[in-house]
């Protein structure tokens, strides 16, 4: 599959440095060096604020998909004659507010398509390709773009959508589901995807969303917000589909928030082992306020890099097959290869399931290497959880507490948070 896309100047510079890293001798960072990348030198001690960043609280401000930019109408935009193609509007003036909803974490500076000179593309067709389709909408020629929807329904994809740099896919106000194939960010920067669903991906063991590329290198400044990743029946088995999300080849400054992962065996893999250590040490991912229900494993599985996971609900993961007959496993969160994970105020619940016999499915947090660790704080096991859960399996007993480099709204892990995650994650309208 050709995943090439025209690179932005930032991506071009990183592309060159990334390929140099591939051929560098002895270029791997030491454990201490990995903490001194830009402003993200350390994690900060958690501090809750009174603000509630859920989209439910600010939905009135962002009810219209293009509410942060000038109106697309001729009178309000100040444009002259209407453009020949009504689905591709002329550039808007810079919005008064850069983004219509708050972003926390490593991806907080992401703008996506909300940049000066952006265009707005209206999806008017549920077809896979052709005029008015989402596939046509992501062909931007490098111009910042916001893709919005004038239709509701399923869009069956015959091949993955390759998202370019400087783009926002904004499904707010409409119920839109991409089926069959998912999304690929082939080294793209400045990408926001919000309020859509990705479902029934397969059967070629591919990802729902791949961030980064073996060819073009890492993606940077990415936000995945209120997206539902869903499989049905046996479709979520890893024999049919790979991760819901994979973050590979040093991709960084990523926030994944308020997403739902339903019946997808492998949730998120960060660092797939194909890139050199020096490349994957740059990975930075924040994963907060997400709900994973009836999944199997990898919440996350992380290699190298720095990872901040807070206020997530791991809800009844299980084996998808017999462990003693396959190489599959089931677990909560796992780190390896010097990865460092802050796992704070998350919620867990699990029951025993048929395929769990003689498995390790009760392991909530585990370390698969002596140089990796999880700084776990205030995990709440729900009262209706019946399995005998294990925590900090094979993890070092002594480690330096992680310090978050940004302000974060860390809520109490309790029944109130659980209810919010069960009802407000995914592509809610």
Residue with tokens 């926002």: 168
Residues 6+ apart with CB under 8 A from 27: 21, 276, 278
Q: What was the pLDDT predicted at 98? A: 59
Helix (H, G, I), strand (E, B), or coil: what is residue 1?
Answer: coil
In DSSP terms, 222 is beta-bridged to 191, 254
In DSSP terms, 203 is beta-bridged to none
> Is 79:88 a contact under the CB 8 Å cutoff?
no
272: left (phi over 0), alpha (psi -120 to 50) or beta: alpha
Q: Shortest CA distance to 167 belongs to which of 125, 198, 124, 135? A: 135
Distances from the Cα of 264 to the Cα of 177, 271, 318, angstroms: 16, 19, 11
Reply yes or no on whether the pLDDT at 49 is more than 80.
no
Percent of the chain with pLDDT over 70: 77
Whole-number mean pLDDT of the chain? 82
Give the mean pLDDT of 320-334: 89
Tell me the pTM. Answer: 0.81
Output b/e per residue, 142-168; b: 16+ Cβ within 10 A: eebbbbbbeeeeebebeebbbbbbbbb
Based on its alpha-carbon atoms, the radius of gyration of the chain, rounded to whole angstroms, reads 21
Give the mean pLDDT of 131-153: 96
pLDDT digits (tens, 9 = 90+) for 52-94: 333 333 333 333 333 333 333 233 333 334 444 545 554 444 4
Of the CA atoms within 13 Å of residue 156, those in its CB half-sphere come to 1
Helix (H, G, I), strand (E, B), or coil: what is residue 204?
Answer: coil
The two structure tokens encoding residue 8 = 């932005």
The two structure tokens encoding residue 174 = 């409409």
Give the mean pLDDT of 227-249: 94
Q: What was the pLDDT predicted at 272? A: 84
Q: State the architecture of 43-424 in CATH terms.
A: 3 Solenoid (2.160)
Give the mean pLDDT of 130-157: 96
> What does residue 149 show for φ and ψ, rounded to 5 degrees?
-125, 135
Distances from the Cα of 25 to the Cα of 16, 21, 229, 256, 338, angstroms: 16, 8, 40, 33, 20
124: part of which helix (H) or strand (E)? none
- Given 3-state DSSP classes, what are the helix, strand and coil percentages for the chain, each rounded to the nearest 5? 10, 25, 60
> Is 329:355 a contact under the CB 8 Å cutoff?
no
> Is 279:388 a contact under the CB 8 Å cutoff?
no
Reply yes or no on whether the pLDDT at 378 is more than 80.
yes
Domains of the chain, residue spans = 43-424
| Strand 340-344 with 252-257, pairing | unpaired
Q: pLDDT grade, residue 429 (50/70/90)?
A: confident
Distances from the Cα of 12 to the Cα of 45, 113, 190, 346, 406, angstroms: 35, 19, 14, 38, 28
Give the mean pLDDT of 220-224: 98
The two structure tokens encoding residue 271 = 């660092």
Percent of the chain with pLDDT over 90: 69
Distances from the Cα of 273 to the Cα of 179, 250, 266, 277, angstroms: 28, 11, 16, 8
> Is 215:247 a contact under the CB 8 Å cutoff?
no
d(CA 76, CA 227): 31
Reply yes or no on whether the pLDDT at 323 is more than 70.
yes
Q: What was the pLDDT predicted at 37? A: 29
């Amino acid at each position: 599959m050709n995943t090439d896309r025209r690179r932005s100047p930032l991506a071009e510079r990183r592309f060159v440095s990334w390929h140099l890293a591939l051929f560098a001798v002895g270029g791997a960072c030491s454990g201490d060096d990995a903490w001194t990348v830009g402003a993200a030198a350390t994690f900060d001690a958690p501090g809750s604020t009174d603000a509630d960043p859920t989209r439910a609280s600010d939905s009135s401000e962002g009810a219209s998909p293009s509410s942060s930019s000038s109106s697309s109408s001729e009178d309000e935009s100040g444009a002259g004659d209407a453009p020949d193609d009504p689905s591709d509007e002329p550039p808007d003036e810079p919005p008064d507010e850069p983004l219509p909803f708050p972003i926390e974490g490593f991806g907080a500076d992401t703008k996506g398509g909300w940049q000066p000179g952006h265009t707005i593309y209206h999806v008017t067709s549920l077809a896979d390709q052709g005029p008015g389709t989402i596939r046509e909408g992501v062909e931007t020629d490098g111009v910042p773009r916001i893709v919005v929807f004038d239709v509701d329904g399923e869009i069956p994809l015959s091949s993955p959508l390759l998202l370019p740099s400087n783009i926002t896919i904004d499904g707010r106000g409409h119920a839109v589901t991409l089926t069959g194939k998912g999304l690929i960010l082939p080294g793209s920067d400045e990408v926001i995807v919000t309020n859509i669903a990705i479902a029934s991906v397969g059967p070629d063991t591919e990802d729902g969303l791949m961030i980064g590329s073996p060819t073009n290198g890492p993606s940077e400044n990415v936000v995945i917000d209120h997206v539902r990743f869903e499989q049905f029946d046996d479709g979520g088995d890893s024999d049919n589909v790979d991760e819901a999300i994979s973050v590979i080849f040093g991709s960084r400054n990523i926030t994944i928030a308020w997403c739902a992962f339903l019946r997808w065996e492998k949730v998120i893999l960060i660092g797939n082992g194909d890139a050199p250590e020096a490349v994957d040490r740059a990975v930075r991912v924040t994963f907060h306020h997400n709900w994973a229900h009836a999944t199997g494993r990898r919440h996350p599985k992380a290699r190298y890099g720095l990872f901040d996971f807070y206020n997530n609900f791991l809800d009844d993961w299980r084996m998808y097959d017999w462990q003693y007959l396959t190489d599959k496993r089931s677990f909560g969160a796992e780190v390896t290869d010097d990865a460092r994970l802050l796992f704070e105020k998350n919620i867990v619940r699990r029951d025993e399931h048929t395929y769990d016999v003689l498995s390790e499915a009760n392991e909530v947090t585990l370390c698969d290497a002596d140089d990796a660790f999880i700084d776990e704080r205030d995990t709440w096991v729900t009262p209706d959880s019946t399995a005998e859960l294990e925590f900090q399996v094979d993890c070092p007993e002594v480690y330096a507490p992680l310090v978050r480099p940004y302000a974060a709204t860390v809520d109490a892990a309790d029944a109130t948070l659980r209810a919010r995650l069960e009802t407000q994650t995914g592509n809610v309208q």
